[in-house]
Amino acid sequence: MQQVDFTTLTAAVRELQSDWIPARVESVYQRDRYTLALSLRTLDKRGWIAISWHPQAARIVLTDPPPRIPDTFTLSQQLRSVLGGLAMIGMEMVSPWERLVKLTFATRPGAEALYYLYVEPIGKYSNLTLTDADNLIITTAHQVSNKQSSVRTIETGRPYEVPPSLTDPMPNIEESIERWIDRVSLIPDKLNQRLVRSYRGLSTILMNELITAAGLDPIQTTDTLAPADWEKLFEYWQIWLRTLTQVDGYSFNPHLTENGFSVMGWADPGTPVASVNSAIETYYTRILDREAFTQLKHQLTQKLCTILAKLRVKANTFKAKLQESTGADEYRTNADLLMSYLQEWQPGMKEIILNDFETSEPVKIKLEPEKNAIQNAQFLYKRHQKLKRAKLAVDPLLASVQAEIDYLEQVEESVLQLQEDGTNDVREMLQTLLEIKKELIDTGYFPTADRLAKAELAETKPHVLTTPSGFELLIGRNNRQNDKLTFKTATEYDLWFHAQEIAGSHGLLRITPGAVAEETDLQFTANAVAYYSRARQSQAVPVVYTATKHVYKPKGAKPGMVIYKHEQIIWGHPQVLNASLSN
């Protein structure tokens, strides 16, 4: 994950200073354990600034409003009680060439400062600290005792100390090219590493961009550079310094790149964005959404696997009992034979062979030698009754467990269909997973302590495809969408599709009044529904389809579970659709 370096932080703070100083603090909200949001209001606008001390994504940046869910963090409650209603009258970089931002708060612009909020976006040591006007610490995101660090203690009631400065020289726009070359080329090494190690405030990513823009290779060694190479490299070094110091009309040129962002605009290829803040927020939103998606998908997958494994063991136990009960009639037949041939029994017999009533074939019957013939027959009759009762009891239990398995396999397939391959919207897939998690909470498979707020569940949309004749095909992403498509979106003219007895999505082929779907449309839909099912790796999948009026939801059925009638079957070929989507 790309971190905010000194150059990026300077550019972001410069934009915030221009647009949001001074501003009134209307609210303080903590999104998660690493991110705080300040609601600000100026004379002409409102907005939110996010302050994060995440180990890999620390930043201060303009952001979107947070979700409307309860904030239970102690840190935000303390900041809200202290800063609420005050004016943020200052925002500045405190130490030269160090990533440290100080926010100043007072009753109004021009008044004496009452509080300072120090933001340290420095990787795994990132922190957030609130002090009073005398720089005594009121609260902090991370307490650091003297047992943890002898260099710098961060505890409430103690004076705040800025992070120790690095000892490397500071870049200087007045430095001559000769002195600069001598410093960088002192030790032959990779060019990007020599630049980073020769001066403070530099990042490898920035230096790679600078070196590449100069037409050089970041990993080539310093002793391979010709005088012209050094001159070109120094030219871009000066452009960077002039941009930082805002001289000669130079300004930042923020871009989003394939794997990150650039505030200088040297990265190629790159997509220009309106502001540095926008570039930073867009990048981290994507990255953090991707991480949240991966974690939630793993959580749901593991939970479903665990539950399904237990249910399958239970189902196999019931099936074994039913298998035993299939021999119930045999016990009764043997008892009847024994009662009919009592004269054949001899004391101490362990088995007896008698001819079957219908086939006259010999039947071997095991006996208990300590029991007489009548007692053995009674034992067989009792065994018959017991197995018969077991079948009557086990049948509904097995049906109930199998229904649970079918439902959870449907949910599992919805989770597995969500693949982060760079072509799908990660935010939409994350919201789809949140909907699935809510469904599992509502159906009792997740603890209610994990219940999600409505604000977390943005409205997601189904897959939308177009058939050869131009009809719209909607395919649900999860059971919530499946139910919505089948019972709310569908009209009497539409056709409903589903892989036969296979977990998968509902497909809704939208038919306009008076139109008729061609065979190619039906086949296309069958291919798509087969593709969005558990059998997507198969060559051919049976798909049922019927009019939507023939699809019903049984009373008490779980989300996405339906019954249907008057169905027809068409064979879907998921690999055909897979090939077309790949192209």
Contacts 24+ apart (CB under 8 A), 315-318: 315/398, 315/401, 315/402, 315/405, 318/394, 318/397, 318/398, 318/401
Indicate the Cα dihedral angle 159, 162, 164, 169, nearest 10°: -150
End-to-end CA gap in the chain: 30
Q: Is the distance from CB of 480 to CB of 439 less than 8 angstroms?
A: yes
Q: What is the pLDDT of residue 582?
A: 59
**Lookup result for tokens 């995101």:** 141
Measured CA to CA, the distance from residue 260 to residue 279 in angstroms comes to: 9
Indicate the Cα dihedral angle 163, 164, 168, 174, nearest 10°: 60
The residue ranges of every structural domain in the chain are 6-140, 177-273, 279-320+407-450, 322-389, 461-582
Q: Is the distance from CB of 553 to CB of 562 less than 8 angstroms?
A: yes
Measured CA to CA, the distance from residue 402 to residue 426 in angstroms comes to: 33
Q: Evaluate the CA torsion angle 435, 437, 443, 448 in order and state its sign.
A: negative
Looking at domain 177-273, its CATH class is mainly alpha
3-state SS, 439-502, equals HHHHCCCCCHHHCCCHHHCCCCCCEEEECCCCCEEEECCCHHHHHHHHHHHCCCCCEEEEECCC
549: tokens are: 């009026």
Q: Is the distance from CB of 411 to CB of 403 less than 8 angstroms?
A: no
Q: Is the distance from CB of 58 to CB of 278 less than 8 angstroms?
A: no
Mapped onto helix, strand or coil, the DSSP state of residue 556 is coil
Measured CA to CA, the distance from residue 476 to residue 453 in angstroms comes to: 22
Measured CA to CA, the distance from residue 101 to residue 83 in angstroms comes to: 17
Mapped onto helix, strand or coil, the DSSP state of residue 279 is helix
310: tokens are: 């237990």
Q: What is the pLDDT of residue 456?
A: 56
How far CA 229 is from CA of 182, 183, 184, 204, 209, in Å, comes to 14, 16, 13, 19, 15
Question: Which burial class, exposed, middle or buried, applies to 278 when counting CB atoms under 10 A from its CB (0-12, 13-18, 19+)?
Answer: middle
Measured CA to CA, the distance from residue 560 to residue 406 in angstroms comes to: 10
Question: Which burial class, exposed, middle or buried, applies to 472 when counting CB atoms under 10 A from its CB (0-12, 13-18, 19+)?
Answer: middle
Closest CA to 197 of 169, 158, 174: 169
359: tokens are: 């086939």
Per-residue pLDDT of the chain (583 residues; tens, 9 = 90+): 899 999 999 999 999 999 999 999 999 999 889 999 999 999 999 999 999 999 999 999 999 998 877 888 999 999 999 999 999 999 999 988 999 999 999 999 999 999 999 999 998 999 999 999 999 999 999 988 777 776 788 999 999 999 888 888 999 999 999 999 999 999 999 999 999 999 999 999 999 999 999 999 999 999 999 999 999 999 999 999 999 988 778 899 999 988 899 999 888 778 999 999 999 999 999 898 888 899 999 999 999 999 999 999 999 998 887 777 766 777 778 888 888 888 888 888 888 888 888 788 888 888 888 888 888 888 888 877 787 777 778 888 888 999 999 999 999 999 998 886 555 688 888 889 999 998 999 888 888 766 555 445 567 889 999 999 999 999 999 998 999 999 999 999 999 999 999 999 999 999 999 899 999 999 999 999 999 999 999 999 999 999 999 999 998 889 999 999 999 999 999 998 877 665 5
Measured CA to CA, the distance from residue 385 to residue 388 in angstroms comes to: 5
DSSP state of 136: B
How far CA 380 is from CA of 200, 337, 375, in Å, comes to 91, 11, 9
Closest CA to 36 of 93, 118, 135: 118
Q: What is the pLDDT of residue 1?
A: 84
508: tokens are: 């809704």
**The CATH number of the domain covering residues in 6-140:** 2.30.310.10
Q: What is the pLDDT of residue 359?
A: 81
Amino acid type, 209: E
52: tokens are: 């994060």
Amino acid type, 581: L
Could you tell me what percentage of the chain is helix, strand and coil, using 3-state DSSP and rounding each to the nearest 5?
40, 20, 40
Q: Classify each residue of 434-455 as buried b or exposed e, where b means 16 or more C-beta atoms within 10 Å of its C-beta.
A: bbbbbbbbeeebbeeeeebeee
Spatial CB neighbours of 6, under 8 Å, sequence gap ≥ 6: 97, 98, 99, 201, 202, 203
- Give the number of other Cβ atoms within 10 Å of residue 404's Cβ: 18
Spatial CB neighbours of 173, under 8 Å, sequence gap ≥ 6: 238, 241, 242, 245, 247
Q: Is the distance from CB of 291 to CB of 427 less than 8 angstroms?
A: no
Indicate the Cα dihedral angle 558, 559, 560, 562, nearest 10°: 40
